[in-house]
Structure 1
């Protein structure tokens, strides 16, 4: 899995917690002045997921005021962008006396270590997914990217929704990724951030072509995953939904060593496999699972499943059922091995 570290103030004596949180935030983004009414017994937790030069950090913490001052900038500037996806709570930010913004749940807040700012969270604890990345890696002219501070980027629509979904997927489970995947995931995050900035500023022409192509590919994949249950999901309908030609669609997938048909098939099979392994669905007929994920004909599903995973769906489910053992013994399970051994043989998500 990719490298991550966990920090919890509750693991420290109460008198040391707030200072330790200040130091942690300073290392995560840049040195800041922090203050809080809860400083005497501060509660904060953070996971730092390292993806090469990009860090994704889910966190929950007590109300706080962040200040990045001109003096701190002169003393130390890592020249980084910060984004916070606000999942719970609220906040307000200001850059000087003329630029202010209020953030609520499902908004992105953007700041940079190279500009002074002041951020106040609300009266309740906040939960965020933060992102840190070098300014140099965002392929937008500085004058455009800096202007995004103070603009609202929604996490529920457009490019912001794609970025939010990707960050939440990474934060939910890092075990599926190997260390070598970190830089690749960082590239996707950087491209989505650049696209979100450009969209917010209506500056899409400033994005490099490769970033636009990657972003479009991610949008297409997200569309496919949302419509897997539709038996009518075809290259033609996908291309039409994104106002591109089928040949353009094929080129997007070919650049990743995939075909449109194989990606759809592999995603459907993977979702069906997960349902077959779900104990809560153990009594559901296999043909119903298949139909839910776009396989209306049971025989076609069985053939595709056997080709992808090396065994029919009925055998996979049977191998996963707990077997009775001696009294007091836990039922044996090879779920962990199956989870690895039965990965699709072609295609990939993201």
Structure 2
């Protein structure tokens, strides 16, 4: 998988760091990029290729991106640019009479075929010395999205909420993908790039009220990612089960089982719930901050109430008991 990035301790001068950051961003977002902080510029950036999709996460003090009609005539990559803002503010102009302000928790979509003027402003967060704008973006070919560009044009530049519904599913997936992208092999990265396109398509279609018009495969894959997100958010609930998942998504239990196993290489919903609970407990048992928490309480916090059931499942999954895992983790920490 193609991956590039930069950190603040890269040995570059602030101006060199700005030039490096601008060049990386410009791989997919060709624009006149400037910053009022060039002489003190500090930034982080992670960029991953997921098949035809590019995922980028970056943090920087401030920047302005201007794409003109001249740039479009010179070179149009025909890409959609999706952004999720996680810190800071963004003011966007897409036309003379269209101005939009984006805040933390907003998603918005622009494309390379229309001019825009975007200004990111950093905000100082607790424990942070300098103001920062932070976000995750996805760049994908316009031709991949199974929604007419004429319809999508109605959404361009608008601030759309990523805190509920399909927008929340998409945002959660992008955040998780950013955390795990460095572990992916080429085939897995390409497959997840397809999932990104499906989730963007489902989100766009939901906003345009055209979801039934999407291809069946796109709707099915988007549904499975929604199911996974729901499960992750509710692992602590001991009553979480395939039946409650199906009810929350207004589908039959049999349909849930069928589509989930098709998209999960045969793994069932119940098995995925169990594996996610064990994964969370495995992590917590190795956390020094939770060392004093009894093992059965750690298990209960992730929805497994019977200590014997937890111990058997944990050993089956990891080959050792929960207590042995905790002991080994703390022994390594002490060395």
TM-score, normalised to structure 2's length?
A: 0.89
Structure 1 residue aligned with 2:214: 207
- Of 174, 183, 186, 2:190 maps to 183
Alpha carbons 2:55, 2:136 under 8 Å: kept: yes
- Of 253, 258, 267, 1:246 maps to 253
Q: How far apart are the structure 1 equivalents of 2:145 and 2:253?
A: 30
- Of 127, 150, 153, 2:157 maps to 150
Alpha carbons 2:53, 2:139 under 8 Å: kept: yes
Alpha carbons 1:153, 1:196 under 8 Å: kept: no
Q: Which has the larger radius of gyration?
A: 1
CA 1:283–1:175: 2 relative to 1, 3 Å: farther
Q: How far apart are the structure 2 equivalents of 1:146 and 1:110?
A: 9
Moved more, 7-16 or 251-260: 7-16
Verify: 1:171 aligned to 2:178, yes or no: yes
Verify: 1:312 aligned to 2:321, yes or no: yes
Q: RMSD over aligned Cα, in angstroms?
A: 2.2
Q: How far apart are the structure 1 equivalents of 2:120 and 2:40?
A: 17
Q: CA deviation at 1:262?
A: 0.9
Alpha carbons 2:299, 2:310 under 8 Å: kept: yes
Structure 1 residue aligned with 2:29: 29
Cα offsets for 1:158-185 (capped at 9, x unmatched): 1111111111112234344233311011
Alpha carbons 2:61, 2:121 under 8 Å: kept: no
- Of 296, 305, 328, 1:287 maps to 296
Cα offsets for 1:314-349 (capped at 9, x unmatched): 2222222327xxxxxx954xxxxxxxxxxxxxxxxx
Please list every run of 5 or more consecutive structure 1 residues that lacks an aligned counterpart in the other structure: 324-329, 333-350
Q: CA deviation at 1:59?
A: 1.0
Q: CA deviation at 1:13?
A: 3.6
Q: CA deviation at 1:34?
A: 2.5
CA 1:19–1:293: 2 relative to 1, 3 Å: closer
- Of 198, 205, 215, 2:205 maps to 198
CA 1:287–1:94: 2 relative to 1, 3 Å: same
Number of corresponding residues: 324
Cα offsets for 1:282-326 (capped at 9, x unmatched): 232221122222222111111112222222212222222327xxx
Q: How far apart are the structure 1 equivalents of 2:298 and 2:13?
A: 51
Structure 2 residue aligned with 1:103: 102
Structure 1 residue aligned with 2:73: 74
TM-score, normalised to structure 1's length?
A: 0.85
